[in-house]
Structure 1
Amino acid sequence: MASRAAVLLASAVAALTVPGYASYRRKRWLKSRRQRVIVFTRYPAPGTTKSRLIPALGEQGAALAQLHMTDAILHEAGRLQQRNPEDLSVEVRYHGGTQEDMRYWLERRTGISCWWRVQEGEDLGQKMANAFKDAFREGTENVVLVGSDIPAITADILEEALQTLNSSQEEDVCVLGPAIDGGYYLVGLNRQTDSRVIGRGMQLNAGSQHASGDYLLFLHADTQLPSSWQRDAYRTLCRPGVVVGAFPFGLDVVQDSSHSKRQFQSVGGFPEFPLLEDVEMLRRLKRHGHVGITEGSGVITSARRFRKHGYLKVTSLNTFILLAYQMGVHPDTLAVWYYGRKVPDKD
């Protein structure tokens, strides 16, 4: 009896370890490929996904919409993978659910060979940056990242983005898929670009270089402008002596018409800091003129961070970071204190 129990136990251990080892080897094999498509999604659990669709579809219907859209984009990624079976891997970065949930959903999926891991970071920007950094650290050369709720995306679109990155390996190139609402549905980087876009200052400078208008508005993704923002900003920037404007509660707008970009460029744009790039840029601009505060309604910024960590903790940390910066602590060190992780080298 004891002997039979030992055999059964050994069989159970083998059943657990052999598939686990095979999965580990498969994941390492996929990670080693030169090109990668990363799909950001939520695990489609009722009540936690597509909340804006719940009033129309119900919790179950909204979850099914999330499921079908993720499945659709994975189908297209799989089609592209079949064109480059030895060169392209597909990674799913998920939020919500567990590893077991994801394994049950995706492990036996046909038409695609993919793996999955949880999204890491405080907000979407950090999660995206971490996904890119992990891919490049694992040896990938070209990475395209897309969200799961883009029904119109195709294998051809993904392939075009990767080909653009592949043809520019010696340059720091960023590929963006422009959306109708002014945002973007796809972002791609190659290894050369990675070290140049980690900090917000570098990202803001890259955006300003591609701007075609006479005015520059820098706005956080979780902030909404008042309905009168154009009028208020223009009046503020037209005031003699003003070189930069700000709405109440922060976020900068830079000078008027033909003088605006020259003023921005004269101070070197945003410093390539991982943190406090806006504070340093404003400090430099103050040498050339005043900071004008718009009249009327201010911007409305999401209180998500305050609700999550508490008003006192967030305010105290922000104040401490600013004081430390004024005392000469380098922004790279402050970023480690603020984000709780090492900032990648810029070289």
Structure 2
Amino acid sequence: MEFLAVILANHLILFSRYPQPGTTKTRLIPHLGETGSAQLQRQMTAQVLRQIRPLLSPTAENSTRPISAEIWFAGGELSQMADWLGTSWALHPQPSGDLGDRLLSAVERAIAAGAERVVVIGADCPSVDSVILQQAFTALQSHDLVLGPATDGGYYLIGLRQPLADLFSGIDWGTERVFAQTRAIAQALHLSVATLDPLTDIDTAADLPVWEALRKQVISVIIPTLNEAAELPSLLETLSPSGTLEVIVADGGSQDDTRAIAQQYGATVVHSAPGRARQMNAGAAAAMGKTLLFLHADTRLPQKFPHLVQQTLAQPGVVLGAFDLLIDGTLPGLRWVERGVRWRSRWFSLPYGDQALFLRTDTFWQLGGFPEVPILEDLKLVRKAQTLGKVAIAPAVVSTSARRWEALGVWQTTLINQSVLIAAGLGVPLERITQFYRRSRSKNLPPDPFKIRKKNRD
């Protein structure tokens, strides 16, 4: 069984590989290890898919004709690919044969299905962006062949209007002669050829600086989830994955549609054992970006937050940042809670997780990630960060849901939270504190006094 694509006039095919350690990016295993090389394959594929997705449904800013797309994969089973990338992508296993055989098969199949222009790219070149892809399809309107030369002598992109077997025959695949040989065949066939800007495939250790430079521009937003299908759509609508923004949903075993919704919106889904700390660490391990931002599913970031994040971390001595907190509700007392958060964050440099903590990836791992404790993992990370440098508050607010306060009431929720902090400060074991917190959050607590007064007034 395959996940089939609807073939449009402009059709894009991505060649990738299931990121199985030991069989992926093998030339990089001596430098990155088996797991690191497989993780690189995973990250590069996700980066290229972020560039493809905007072209599938053009907007006012991107008014070009839409493209259709599919992924031809090697290694792994269809079920593994679907679990990794979701079912919203059309998936097709690569046939046997050398690279030329597989490329020709992909082009032939797309043309037979109705495509008028076919572009094939590989996941090994994460610098390919939506602009380059648009240029390739535009060039195919007036040229027989489009090639994107790679700096190692191969090509990262080939575009055709008809399947030409000669272009894939007699090529020394995997060598520095691939591009030159293909150009020579094209000239012998009297084809008109458009050549794109050269880019670098990430195949060897010498190529890794290109990848690192690309990572430096990316912020990875990591969202821990457990049955957040109700909150996730409105959140992900505000976070469009792009070349500089990676969205990772670190799911702890949701039983609802959380994972399907995340994949539908283009987020990368990472599976983890439940527990917010474990989930956020798993998300960070999969992240491409040089900057990490941890976001609760019921919290919304301010506009232009990437600029605010980079601006805050660029301040001398700052190792971790967060935002001021706005609680999206009208219950009496919420404004006092906000003032208390602002006072705590600025005077004691102690922002909590619902304020969207952010820091550099290297710093995060230097701190050892989130301590995998059942509660207060955010507080422990911030306190450790204070030993390395400053904790700063960005000049903007995040808006978080009032659902926690609405469930039990403002003062009761505040009392529970403060009791947890006091107990932790006194050295009470976190397991006991967690039991108290969960028991206190149960529905067996007395009603909120504000609700009592409101009922009496009514």
Query: Aligning the two structures, in what range does the TM-score lie when normalised by the shorter sequence?
Result: 0.3 to 0.5
TM-score after normalising by structure 2: 0.36
TM-score after normalising by structure 1: 0.46
Q: Which has the larger radius of gyration?
A: 2
Higher RCO by CA contacts (8 Å cutoff, separation 6 or greater): 1
User: Structure 1 or 2: larger helix share?
Assistant: 1
